Amino acid sequence: MCGTTSGSPVIGPDDHWAGNSVIAEGLRITRDNRRPVFGSACLAGAAALLVGGGIVAGAFAASWGLFLEAGKAAERSIDYEESYVAYADQWDGLVKVALCVYPLLVLVAMALIAWLLTAQAVTVAHAREHAAADTDPGRAPGTLTLRTLLRRSRPHLKAALRIQLLTLVCALFPGLTGLLVLAAVAMEKVPGVVWPTYHEPATVQFILVGRILPAVIWALGLVLLSRFALATTVRVADNSTATAAMRRSWTLTRSARLHTTAICLLNAVAVTVAFTLLKWLGTYVAHWAGLLMLATTGDNVWVTGVLVIITPIAVALVLLPLVLAPTGVMLACLHQRLNGSTGRTRVPSGAPSSSTASSPRSPRTHH
């Protein structure tokens, strides 16, 4: 079956490779359901601004005395014509604040990603319900409003968050391994490999161990992430536990490793390009934020410098859900196709249940 929703085909389980590509189908569903897709993205951006901004503001408040001390120490060093290292006496305190802030920001990011992936899985399921309604108009689900999207997504959010945290734990191993290789090369712990300097160019050994090897390890990490990329959609479709959804995602992507990795890589490139562009736009916000901070703190360049550095990143992260939402739609479409290839047809989450929906109608007897 291949139904249509506002002119957009939704691929059914019997023709999972028919029609357009996963990317084209994801873009069509995003276009036809742009209100729930981008509404969920705006909701995630607002939560990132309020919760993430509150955490960062709290970190600045906790470090305010350290920044003032750094400014006074710099002024004393200038008056006595002494050499000065920025934040030399305040570094330990700033690191302690950072160690408290970073885990909170990571947790907020995982929660927002769980919400975005869950919302897009529900949106694609809703599009599939519309396609099924072409043969049975009485089962038409109606318009997917943001309130309906919240109601249908709420039962899956805890499991989706657990999926993101488990995936993060799995991704930490190749990520930290690649960083460990770089650290070992930088500390000259690898025999025969020397970090290049201005007078000594990079050797073949350094290129192989210090550049290619970490890239290969991180590429394997990307493949690992792609194998678990469908877990949230599986949870929405099957109402399974987090670990069962991850196992099912691993099984589904086994027969299409290259296809899945290519789609995830394309999504990663799109997100990276968007993040770079948004970060560049954030520099204009950082300029005015820096001027405001200078006026507030009496020209304290030490706190202003930190603010100017983090503001473009913060702006990019707040607006990034607008790009992450369509990628979530593509992952949900990919799940629909791979799940169809296994011959397992499931009722989408939140769809009306009916015994006549899964069995042929018996002939009516006339008396």
In this prediction the pTM is 0.81
Q: What DSSP element (H or E) covers 9?
A: strand 8-11
Least reliable range by pLDDT among 142-146, 246-250, 263-267: 142-146
- Contacts of residue 161, defined as CB under 8 A and 6 or more positions apart, other chains included, come to 110, 111, 114
Cα separation, 303 vs 56, in Å, equals: 13
Cα separation, 141 vs 347, in Å, equals: 13
Q: Considering its fold, how many domains does the chain have in total? A: 1
Instruction: State residue 274's pLDDT score.
Output: 95
What is the residue range of 135's domain?
A: 20-343
Domain assignment present for 355: no
345 pLDDT higher than 80: no
131 pLDDT higher than 60: yes
Q: What is the CB neighbour count within 10 angstroms for residue 183?
A: 11
Across all residues in the chain, what is the average pLDDT?
82
Instruction: State residue 296's pLDDT score.
Output: 84
Instruction: State residue 158's pLDDT score.
Output: 95
For residues 145-154, give the mean pLDDT.
92
Domain assignment present for 364: no
Which sign, positive or negative, has the C-alpha torsion 355, 248, 235, 146? negative
Domain assignment present for 365: no
Domain assignment present for 233: yes
For residues 325-341, give the mean pLDDT.
88
- Answer for the pair 170, 224: CB distance below 8 angstroms, yes or no: yes
Domain assignment present for 367: no
Name the pLDDT band for 55 (thresholds 50, 70, 90).
Answer: very high
Alpha carbon dihedral 104, 267, 237, 362, in 10-degree steps, equals 160
Domain assignment present for 159: yes
- Answer for the pair 32, 8: CB distance below 8 angstroms, yes or no: yes
Domain assignment present for 353: no
SS3 8: strand
